[in-house]
Structure 1
């Protein structure tokens, strides 16, 4: 691969200013962001992003799922662009860096190249993927998954939120019109910068995580069905308490994940009692499960053990249950060549680093199915993310953006190689 200009640095203060400016869209009193996918607040930050990209000389297109593509031309327009980016949507009580750093760092890279008058051989593309978080629509990372063909556009457009609003309706309400079909953009390579969302880098005093891949994920929707009856008149041995059954399920999830440690994790993230009342024994509970591990065989084992545990709990308590797998993402290895390039770049910039696997899902994990892909992590305070207390330093954000700049420059100026099958 070609060499980058190692004396070139981003404007860290400008990047930080962009991060703080966009944090106003959906800002919460506790200092976080509530910017759900295709909400009015998401529409505001999308407009900001489009305007900022166009001011930097980029051409912005939008696919059928609302994903934004901002293109900086290269000398050779026949070469597929080297892409970067992430997402601008957040959790309901999200922070100011998750996804946002990667998207705005891509913009800062382009601004830096513009300031230095540098033209790359291949074009550079910044992407704002729709609905990475999955907090309004399931599954998470759905737009990048559709981009690589894992889902059809029609399937994703028909997905609805808890209020029954479809993706298609939400796009229409915001006035987001497609300029290109989903998946029509050719991408030569993809590099995503992101906060770690975990405690490892901070604990080891490392500035950079060189990400080798993403772990596999299982998402389940489940129900437990018992029988509603009077809380004061029904003896304990005669109860069919759906919520008590769920309590056992939660403990079973913890036990099973621990048994497959140290890498496996399991989370019962949502629980909703049907027709709740203070003096009625719960007769129906809906819940969600999130299971993760970097090994496909472990995911299979946990799946089987969870179903067996639910069957035992339900049988003993005279309950009914369902457990539906709504999403499976296989463990994803990243491109060894780009991983090594990032590692060399961190060395050249004097940034302490370590290799690691991503515990969270990212759009990069979908892109890696079709495109040479890797990720760069920077620390976040106490490993906290998906929380209004999420925090990162200007130094670390700037360091990650500097490494992203060097990586993209090298890839965009590399000799042409045959496309990956």
Structure 2
């Protein structure tokens, strides 16, 4: 049987072990390598204990402790080797990580510097070369250019535009916001081409090479489409924007204007309004809007919700009044037979170009904030 002294020693060892375990846990959180080393040392010291105490039995404590302390040096001899191994291993890993981080950082800096240089070169070609050349075609430009100079400038502009697009496409993470004036080059070239005074110049440039001939044909086709789109947009928009008999104050305070076809009540146009009402001599009103306020125009300016516009606007089948102008929310709120659901609110706000928090946005609108006009001019 173990003596009282041996039991007391075991209790002390247990207390020390608990404190040691707590310290080891803190060290593990701070530095895993320390935990590995301490754990290895603990195992080395425990193995002799298990080997002597459990595998072999001794009748006397003195014999046990003598054997224990005889075996400990054998196992403890491996501790320096283990410590050295983990220390060198940890040092090697840190060195590799530091080297990798340094290489990654240098690579990123090199890429950023390269991009900065490329962007600076592109910016120079646009601001200091292309834009001034476009300006030289302006009739107000001081000093009239000869035909030969205009031909040379237009050829350079056409090649320059193609080269700039190629250069920018080669830069990863292309960010147009970092380049000033890029968006003005093509419209400037189109303006030169469609100017009647440059007809001879355009013909000479077109005949100078197959590439330039093809490029000018593409630009002329784009000009034709742009002109048609602008004409169609004006024609369709004018059918909705005027001229209506409305209270000027209500019309001027409205937030949205929608045009619907008389036959099927589908939406053919949607506009945002910002104090847009204008009066005429005959007291009819029309609405002035900018291109940025056009939400939708059937066949001209459509968007991802185009399918929704082609369906009948909610509950307009109950709009039987002869007056072609309607305050939509006032109409919905005043009709007790209509159960206007949250899905209806979302549908209406999607038509108005609102795709987030639609229900709250609809509820914030006043009874006269949505004006709907109908016209037979869009009947199919």
TM-score by length of 2: 0.21
Higher helix share: 2
TM-score by length of 1: 0.20
Higher strand share: 1
Structure number with the bigger relative contact order (C-alpha 8 A, sep ≥ 6) is 1
